[in-house]
Amino acid sequence: MSQEVGRSNGGNSGAAPYSFGGEWQPSPIELGRRASRKAKSRRNGLIAALSSLLVLGTLAIVVVTSPGWKVLSATFFDWGYGFEVLPKILTGFFQSNVILTLIAATSVGILGLTIALIRTSRSPALTPFRILATGYVDAFRGIPMLLIILLVGFGIPALQIRGVTNDVFVLGIIAVIITYSAYVAEVIRSGILTVHPSQRAAARSLGLSNFQTLRYVVLPQALRRVTPPLLNDLVALIKDTGLVSILGVTDAIRAAQIETSRTFNYTPYVMAALVFLIVTIPLTRYTDRTLRKSIERQNAQGQA
């Protein structure tokens, strides 16, 4: 009920939806309703502010006045030291995590889409590829990524094959791509499967080929639907690029670790965490927004 009121409130904030020749004036009843809605929302705002202040304030006081706080803040929140090491962390972040994310995200998109298309196709010629794709997805969704990174990062150099790189950065990217493609392929495949068969029938009955139907009708709808979960995977990918630090890639986490092991102060880790947050928080907010929009769009379609 209160939601109902909230929404119509928002809708009325601009011009009135109905105006009969511009002569419409809100009736006294409507004016009364608006006034009491406004009063109510002011009261709600006040309650929210007061209760937040009370709860969060109490929490802050309890933490700061607790006996261990001094030691804790010196070891974790030594901001002077933190800003001293920030350039090193940022260098690692931009040179490793960001580059890794960009390269991996692009490759994963292409590979994941390909695997999804193979798995959803019904062409008999693709049968062996379908079997391979299914096996691939089953395997790499089931193995911890850390293991894949260790296997690829240390295992491949151990083979000492000529012409194959020993660069841990490249091997790290490959391991990330292998794992994430399996996830993304499944997300895209689920999107393809949710496009109603009647859409396919309509496209085919217009004379579109199987491929054209996929290209112009099925995929655009499928990808639109899976954009929110894909953005979620992107956030996870950004964080997981940190795992390649185990191979010795000097990313933000490794840079922080090097500092920490030197000084036994953990502020560099906190700084690294903040650096990740600066990128991931806007992205998660954006993800939430696209999710909300896509739900609204689907609801609108359901009503039509």
Partner 1 sequence: MSNPVLELVEVRKAFGAEVVLEDISIKVPEHTATVLIGASGSGKSTMLRCINLLELIDDGVIKLDGIDITDVSTNPDEIRRKLGMVFQSFNLFPHMKVLENIILAPMRVHGLGKEEATEKALELLTRFGLREKADQYPDRLSGGQQQRVAIIRSLAVEPRLLLLDEVTSALDPVLVNEVLSTVRDLKDHGMTMVLATHEMGFAKQVADEVCFLERGRIIEWGSPSEMLENPKDPRTQDFLKRVHEAGRL
For partner 1, the closer CB: 43 or 292: 292
Residue type, 82: G
Q: How far is the CB of 216 from partner 1 (least distance, A)?
A: 6
For partner 1, the closer CB: 11 or 220: 220
What distance in Å separates the CA atoms of residue 24 and residue 15, rounded to the nearest whole number?
Answer: 11
Q: Look at residues 113, 98, 143, 111 and name the one whose alpha carbon lies nearest to residue 239.
A: 98
For partner 1, the closer CB: 38 or 196: 196
Q: How far is the CB of 7 from partner 1 (least distance, A)?
A: 19
What distance in Å separates the CA atoms of residue 248 and residue 94, rounded to the nearest whole number?
Answer: 16
Residues 6+ apart with CB under 8 A from 96: 169, 241, 244, 249, 250, 251, 252, 254
Q: What are phi and psi of 129, to 5 degrees?
A: -70, -35
Q: How far is the CB of 20 from partner 1 (least distance, A)?
A: 22
Q: How far is the CB of 204 from partner 1 (least distance, A)?
A: 6
What distance in Å separates the CA atoms of residue 271 and residue 253, rounded to the nearest whole number?
Answer: 10
Q: How far is the CB of 196 from partner 1 (least distance, A)?
A: 8
User: Please, is 64 exposed, middle or buried when counting C-beta atoms within 10 Å of its C-beta (0-12, 13-18, 19+)?
Assistant: exposed
For partner 1, the closer CB: 67 or 197: 197
For partner 1, the closer CB: 37 or 200: 200
For partner 1, the closer CB: 85 or 203: 203
For partner 1, the closer CB: 43 or 215: 215
User: Please, is 185 exposed, middle or buried when counting C-beta atoms within 10 Å of its C-beta (0-12, 13-18, 19+)?
Assistant: buried
What distance in Å separates the CA atoms of residue 38 and residue 44, rounded to the nearest whole number?
Answer: 10
Query: Which spans of this chain sit near partner 1 (rule: CB under 8 A)?
Result: 198-199, 201-209, 212, 216-217, 220-221, 224, 297, 300-301, 303-304
Q: How far is the CB of 304 from partner 1 (least distance, A)?
A: 4
SS3 (DSSP) at 167: coil
Residue 180 and residue 166 in contact, taking contact as beta carbons nearer than 8 Å = no
Q: How far is the CB of 198 from partner 1 (least distance, A)?
A: 5
Q: How far is the CB of 188 from partner 1 (least distance, A)?
A: 16
Cβ neighbour number for residue 136 with a 10 Å cutoff: 18
Residue 84 and residue 259 in contact, taking contact as beta carbons nearer than 8 Å = no
Distances (CA, A) of 245 to 96, 146, 270, 297: 9, 11, 17, 41
Q: How far is the CB of 274 from partner 1 (least distance, A)?
A: 39
For partner 1, the closer CB: 63 or 295: 295
For partner 1, the closer CB: 141 or 196: 196
